[in-house]
Structure 1
């Protein structure tokens, strides 16, 4: 079986943050450009973000999280959408990111990417239904 190659390639401020106002500072621009150039050399097929970072980048840090429901799910995995040239993976175990669309809005260069959301059994059925409505529903459900 072919296994994916995982490379941890990160940029952060001295306090460990990977998003935020400090990334808009002019003096950081050459380092961010170097980061992007290095990333492009890897010819990656995906980028992975944790829930807090994905929320801040794609929907705004001030957006209210998806409401926590009373019911959790044990539904099977679902695959949605088409093949894409690039994927944005969001680790969202609690199902809290209030996505606006099935595209990673707010990040130039990712217009053709598809979002993959990895949740846990703590994500609600309501949240999964919201994802289903947001994404291309013609492929749902496909058990893996």
Structure 2
């Protein structure tokens, strides 16, 4: 099967090119899109096509920064069951053999291609970017651990802490709340990351003294699970509490794989460096299952990089 997106319509066609399903979502007001009609051929019903169409319609609306409405009963029921979440684009730089960590990133060619990646990041900038704890620490905090002694025995209000609304966010998936931020904003030479308000996605097992610390420095946090992060719940909260509609997922391989296994990756933006990495380096998706994507575009960039965009 293949999905074809036009401005206000997504069609599903079989291998012979015959249409077997369709969803329409016209723009009824400026920036407001109404999912009005979903249909699937009678002989193809019960195969997940309708849910796939609605999911793709919601993602497409979010990528446009639009507001989702649903006047057809199937879409209403889908949203009631799954909620609304940002469209997730996994944006990564890889070697030819699909690795995302290792010495190849620090070679002369790897550094040059990484600059291409960052330029593309600025070009396709969404409402937020997201990384796992290890990536956040290596990229922004250098593993800093704050002194929490003043917060021993602190009593913290229950629930999420929304410190502020902002134009752009850095979302840290950090199960136990370990990332030692020193400010509520990221300060970086790259304008694609500078001035992002930090949101920690944590579990209920996060120590209260760390919550008190985050509150003191103005870092927002949301709870998503008791012991392990419920990614779907986290995305629902990021959408509803912060208005995040387009999220760039930027590694590492463990969190990328977790999103993919949950069916929460809507597209790929892959910048491939003309380098073969070492065999022990980590892959784009750790522990992934087989998933099919559609090639939307591919461009040869500077320094031998190839930028490929994939959709569901």
TM-score scaled to structure 2, two decimals? 0.36
Matched, 1:103 2:185: yes
Q: Deviations over 1:81-124 (max 9, x none)?
A: 2322x211101111111111111134532332111111111111
Q: 1:115 to 1:54 in 2, by over 3 A?
A: same
Q: Between Structure 1 and Structure 2, whose CA radius of gyration is higher?
A: 2
**Number of residue equivalences:** 132
Deviating more after overlay: 8-17 vs 114-123: 8-17
1:120 lines up with 2:203 in the alignment = yes
CA contact (8 A) 1:59 1:105 kept: no
Match of 2:214 among 112, 127, 131: 131
Deviation at 1:64, TM superposition (A): 4.1
Please tell me whether the aligned partners of residues 66 and 96 of structure 1 are also in contact (alpha carbons under 8 angstroms).
Answer: no
Give 1 or 2: higher strand fraction: 2
Q: Which runs of 5+ in 1 are unaligned?
A: 138-143
Q: Return the alpha-carbon distance in structure 1 between the equivalents of residues 176 and 215 of structure 2.
A: 16
Task: Give SS of 1:6's match.
Answer: strand
Structure 1 window deviating more from structure 2 (27-36 vs 50-59): it is 27-36
8 A Cα contact 1:65 1:97, kept in partner: no
Report deviation, 1:9.
1.0
Q: Is the 8 A contact 1:102 1:114 kept in 2?
A: yes
Provide the rounded CA distance (Å) in 1 between the counterparts of 2:180 and 2:162: 19
Residue matched to 1:38:
120
1:5 aligns with 2:5: no
Is the Cα contact below 8 Å between 2:127 and 2:169 reproduced in 1? yes
Counterpart of 2:109 in structure 1 is 27
- Is the contact between residue 80 and residue 135 of structure 1 (CA under 8 Å) also seen in structure 2? yes
1:47 correspondence with 2:126:
no
Structure with more contact order per residue of length (Cα contacts < 8 Å, sep ≥ 6): 1
| C-alpha distance 5-136 of structure 1, shift in aligned 2 (>3 A) | closer
Pick the aligned partner of 2:165 from 75, 82, 88: 82
Quick check: 2:197–2:219 contact (8 Å CA) kept in 1? no
Instruction: Note the residue ranges of structure 2 that are not aligned, 5 or more in a row.
Output: 1-66, 69-83, 221-240, 242-312
Give the superposition deviation at 1:39.
2.6
| Root-mean-square deviation (Å) | 3.2
Alignment check: 8 A CA contact 1:74 1:121 kept: no
